[in-house]
Chains A and B, each alone.
Chain A
Amino acid sequence: MSQEFWLFVLMIGVFAAGCFALKWPVSVSMLLAATAGALAGGVQDPVRHLVEGTFGYVDTILTIATAMMFMTGFRDSGALEALTAAVIKKFHKWPGVLMVLLTFVIMVPGMITGSSTASVLTAGAVVAPMFASMGISTVDAGALISIAAILGMIAPPVNIPAMIIGGGIDMPYVGFELPLVLLTFPLAVVFALWFGWRKVRHMDRTKVLASLDFSTLSRYGGWRLFSPIILIFVLMVLDKVVPRVFGLGMPLIFIIGTVSTWVTGKRFNIVQSAKKSIEDVLPVLGILVGVGMFIQIMTATGVRGFIVVNALSVPPALLYAMIAISIPLFGAISAFGSASVLGVPFMLALLGRDQIIAAAALSLIAAIGDFMPPTALAAIFAAKVVGLEKYGTVLKKLVIPTLIIIVYAILFIVFSKQIRAVL
């Protein structure tokens, strides 16, 4: 066995020991695993490398932190509860349609920004209480929100993993819309009904309606109360459509949204609310920082090359199996990282397929990484917005959907030419 193999075992071992045996937080376990790898691997200038790795996530940290501030502000202003009441009152007669529509709604922020976290923390947070009042269990709601979020991140117009894979083989991000629509929307309908259909069919409408609180809504009125979410949505669309003029970027959009929640609803202490949101989200930011260190050390020591070359070493017949297994597993560290580190070499190994459809399908498989612990961004935040302390139960619900998504994506790669012929 190579030195890289043993280094990899050491890093995973330290991480697992910290995480499971000693019950340290994921961030701290990652830091120690990376440090152990750096020292055992004889990396020169280890502090520089550890810190440098974290910079891969500075922008992500800002996006997540500000999105969380916005969500907390929107909730503290009373708008979240009021929005649930308004929507359920309007649509309670068609629960099946409502399930599918709400799933699409969760996807929208991810479609525009390319971030599953943006989906979960904005639309996901808005929809979560609606699912609850429709009788869907918190665990099911969490699972559906996280699925919708990663489908939104892959659905057009913005799909960052596909751009990363395309960038690696000099393929412009053009002509992806239709394949991505076919990859994501059918799955969204399937899973919306999968998680919702049995429950919402037997929903007791009078009881549900009676449980809703309309006081905030009647006091401030819908337009005023919901204007922050409309504002966010408009700014996101403008950022996409006229980036030259309104290219604010997500963190700034969320900051503007946060400030607007302060004046549009119930009065609350915005500073305390912002601090509370950072406190809530710090473990996740810490995971990102730890993951950044981990990747940097894996790369510097050659562990990354060991993983990639071994993934490419399988005979052609097993290539699909390797794609299906290794890309989501590496996504446990980072979905975008997986698209770059494994997605690009696999894409090169898939030359001869329809490139756009293959890259689109690979991007969907890479997005599954957002379900994989320890990072599992989509699942962690989904558990948060439905009010679960731990996200383990949500993960269990995601196992079968994950397999379905992967198989569906692999079929797209296998039959890429036939699909292209139909398109």
Chain B
Amino acid sequence: MFYVYLVILAVVLALTVWVLFDTKKLSLQITAAMVIVPLLLRLLMIK
């Protein structure tokens, strides 16, 4: 289940990065950047 959840997390992370580079709204870009940090650190199994 651990790895299944890492895959789900990776999907959410990838979509978030996509939104970050796709949107024209700066506020949404900053928000996306904030959300990316915990998702990335969990995906890399650091935290």
Contact = CB atoms under 8 A, between A and B. Distances in A.
Interface of A: 24-25, 27-28, 31, 51-52, 54-55, 57-58, 61-62, 65-66, 247-249, 251-252, 255, 274-275, 278-279, 282-283, 285-286, 289-290, 292
B5 A27 contact: no
Contacts of B41: 51, 55
B30 A62 contact: no
Interface in B30-47: 30-32, 34-35, 37-39, 41-42, 47
Nearest to B9: A62
A279 to B, nearest CB: 5
Given A25-B31, A252-B4, A274-B15, 17 more contacts: A27-B34, A28-B30, A58-B39, A61-B12, A61-B38, A62-B8, A62-B9, A252-B5, A278-B15, A278-B16, A282-B31, A282-B35, A285-B16, A285-B31, A286-B31, A289-B38, A290-B34
A286 B23 CA distance: 15
Interface in B1-26: 1, 4-5, 8-9, 11-12, 15-16, 18-19, 22-23
A228 B2 CA distance: 24
A28 B29 CA distance: 10
Contacts of B8: 62, 66, 251-252, 255
A292 B5 CA distance: 21
B35 A285 contact: yes
B13 to A, nearest CB: 10
Nearest to B36: A289
B34 to A, nearest CB: 5
Interface residues of B, number: 26
Nearest to B29: A282
B42 A58 contact: yes
A25 B27 contact: yes
A275 B42 CA distance: 21
A249 B1 contact: yes
A279 B19 contact: yes
Given A249-B5, A252-B5, A255-B8, A55 B31 contact: no
Given A28-B30, A52-B47, A275-B19, A289 B35 contact: yes
Q: Most chain-A Cβ atoms within 10 A of its Cβ — which of B1, B32, B38, B42?
A: B38
Given A55-B38, A61-B35, A275-B15, A251 B5 contact: yes
Nearest to B16: A278
Contacts of A248: 1
18 contacts: A27-B30, A27-B31, A28-B27, A51-B38, A51-B41, A61-B12, A61-B35, A61-B39, A62-B8, A62-B12, A65-B15, A249-B5, A282-B16, A282-B31, A282-B32, A283-B31, A289-B34, A289-B35
B28 to A, nearest CB: 6
A255 B10 CA distance: 13
B23 to A, nearest CB: 7
A384 B27 CA distance: 19
A51 B37 contact: yes
B37 A62 contact: no
Contacts of A24: 27
A61 to B, nearest CB: 7
Contact of B38 (A28, A31, A58): A58
Contact of A279 (B4, B23, B37, B39): B23
Contacts of B23: 279
Contact of B19 (A51, A55, A282): A282
Nearest to B28: A282
Nearest to A287: B31
A276 to B, nearest CB: 9
